[in-house]
Structure formats: C-alpha cells, structure tokens
Structure 1
Amino acid sequence: MDMKNKRFLFIMILLILSCFFSSVTANKPATCGYGTCDTWFSFDGINWHNTTYRNAELHRGESFFIKTMISTTKPDIHVSIRFFEVGVNSNDDASFEILDGYVTGIINQNFKQIYSFGIIDTPTRFEKIWKIKVCENASWWNATSPLNIFVDFNEQIGEGWGSEWIGDEISYTVATIYIKKSVFSPVDNSELVSENVKYLSLNHIIMISILIGLIFLSFLLKFKKH
C-alpha cells in the first residue's frame, strides 16, 4: 500500500473513533496528595460508564445514578464529599437534588450539603452510589447543566491546641446534563434507557463493521498494487 492510501486509512480511522466517543470522555481517577476519586455515570443504576458523560438528555423530574470510588493513601485522613453546580448558591436554584446516597433513605437533601465520611484510620478504598434527580421545577431547561463533584481530604498535624488541619482536594465535572423542558414519566424512563443502550450497541456494531471494511479495503489495494 502506498503512502497516500495509508494516510487515507489512518485519517478515516481517527474520524470514526472521534465520532464513536463523542458522547464520553475517557476518565482516569483524579488524584491528589491524599488519595484518589473515580466516578461512574448511569441512567438506570445497572449499566455504568466510567467516564465524564457529556450531553446526557434527561427530563425534569428524571433520576440518574453516580457511583464514586474514593481511595486514601495515608492513615487518619478525614474525607468529605459534595456535589455542586457552578454559579448556584441556593438549593432553590439547583437543577438537581439527591434522593439517596451516603445517608440512605434521606429524601430531598440539600444539594450543596457536605457528606462527611469521618476519619479513615488506614489507607483504604470505599464505594458509594448516589441517586440524583433533575428537579421538577428546574428553571434551567432546554440547556446543559454540568454536575460537579468535590472531594476534600484533610489531615490533622499535631495534637491539642497547637494542632492544625491541612489537606488537598479533588474537583471535576462528572457529567453534563441536557435538561429537557418536558416533565418525566415512567414511560419516558424505560424508553430512555432502551434508547441509550441501543445507541451504545449500535455504535459498537457500526465502528467494528467500518473498521473491518477498512482493513478489507487495505488488503484489496495492496493486492491490486501487486
């Protein structure tokens, strides 16, 4: 295969891969001096995407799930977590509310509330699943709202009155949610999950089929050349 054909195939493969991964951004655990935080997004609490999920379309009143995996690398570290929206200073203005999570069964938690995991005695890893809902009365609709996570790690230096707390933090966008104006109904939920599963499966099939076609084309061009 000559250089021109190789370049053509290479560009085509890059274009296909960029189209396939347009909805997600590869995510590695965010790290600081005291630990790491990794997150997953899910429409149904079953199928998880270890990504920063972009442009997830949800109705007002519709719920979704975030899974967090937090690791500490030092002993006796105090860990706390909260979810937030940039520019939202009041829970009344929030686009989301936490239905379930660290405090199981507590409904209508303040979205800006800090959830403390206390002092972690030894370096460890723990996982939590949060059920979050788009507010029915969300005023920000037909637009995208980023959902962010903030994890705070703190260490006490010294004892008694002379002690002080030092630490580090991790903060990033977990997902960008496109909020539809329409209000959620159970029928919408089943259809949405089905459509998202179909979307991911179809993209896998299309990408594999095109790659096979490109490989076949490269062999064909090489054969014709000889």
Structure 2
Amino acid sequence: MTTDYDEGKFKQLLATLNQAYDTFKKKYGYINQAVNARLFDRDDRYPLIASLELEELDENDSSKVVFVKSDAFKKPTIRPKKHLHQVMSAVEALNVSLSEGRGVDLNLMSSVYPDVSEDMMISELGETVMIDVERYIDDKTVHYVTKDKFLSGDVLAKRDCINSLIEDGDTQADWERYLELILSVVPEPVVLSDIDFSIGSSWIPSNVVSQWVFSELLDEKLVCILKKLNHY
C-alpha cells in the first residue's frame, strides 16, 4: 500500500473529526435533521457537510429514517491507499515509484521489490538513476534522481558541483563519469555574433545604446561637449 500524505497526521485529524461530530450530534442531533438542515441551508458548503452522513432505515422501525457516519469518518476517500503489486526487477520498481509521483523513492521501491537491498537495486539500475549532485554537495546526503532529470535543469551548476567533488577527492561515486555525462549536454557558450538584435530593441537598456552611440559614432570632442551640456 502507498499514500502521498502523512498517515499519522491523517489519523490524528480523523480522530478530531469524529470527536467534533459526536459532540455536535449529542448536542444538536443529526446534521441532516430538518432543523439543522434549515440552519445550514445558506452555507454554500452545506452539501459537503451533509455528505458526512448517510441516510438509512432504522433496523427496529423500517418507517423511521436514521443517519450514520459516512466513510469520511473511517478512511481516506479523496486519496485512498493504493495496493501495489510486487514486481520482479529494479526497473519495474522504479517505474512504480515514478508513476506514484514519488521520484526515486527507495523505500517505496523496496516495498514492491522485496528481499533486495537498496544497494543491490541501485547496482541493478546502473545509470538509470544518478546521485543528485546539488543536494549531495549541500549536505553530503545521497538522494537519487532519474538520469533524465540529472541531465536537465541547470547543467552548468551541476558541472561546477561535480568539478568541486573531483577536486576534493570525493569517492561517493565515479564523478569523472558524471562529468562526462553532464558535459555531453552542456550547451556551447553564446557569443555576440549568435545574438540577433537591432538598435532600439526593447530588451537593450537605453543607457547601453547611448554609450555605444557616444563611443562609436561621435568624435571625442563632441562627446565631451555633450557630456558637459548634459551636466547642466
């Protein structure tokens, strides 16, 4: 089973909900009783509140309607637990983790691919997963990301992180291989000749244009005169 929320926190809130409902019911009766329904009628959330109770016939008197707690008091209804089947390979376990939106979650992967240690899973996955170098250089804890994620984002920052680890002699991973992979996606530096622009382009600050005009189109004497006039 898996969830994408804190089960302990959910159980705590569920207990609070049950207690609040029991207190209300003891004091005012069912939420869906006519008198309460009239009071709640102007609340635009009343349909949601009313759904907390289910209508049933009284076991002792079939002509009498009673209300019982809905499943909302017993278990998650919006994001219920999912039953995950065991898999036969680390790649399948990774796919399960990714499909659940958990990234490379080794705990989840171990739950569907049991009897295999995390180290064995990482070894089996090979370069399918990589150490998150930015997190590792920040706090020296190992977290994994997919190779695609590793080779995307701010690759220049990742390159610098890897170079730093190589210089420090860190042995957590084959950083030379990491550097080789990251350099394969580092873009070529953009030079001025690659930039298509024209004088007056909105993204060029006006003071830059002014400086260029002064330096390239006007002679030094005129520049001095204009600067003096601009001073006044």
User: TM-score, normalised on structure 2?
Assistant: 0.23
Q: Give the structure with the larger strand fraction.
A: 1
Higher relative contact order (Cα pairs below 8 Å, separated by 6+ residues)? 1
Q: Which has the larger radius of gyration?
A: 2
Structure with the larger helix share: 2
- TM norm structure 1: 0.23
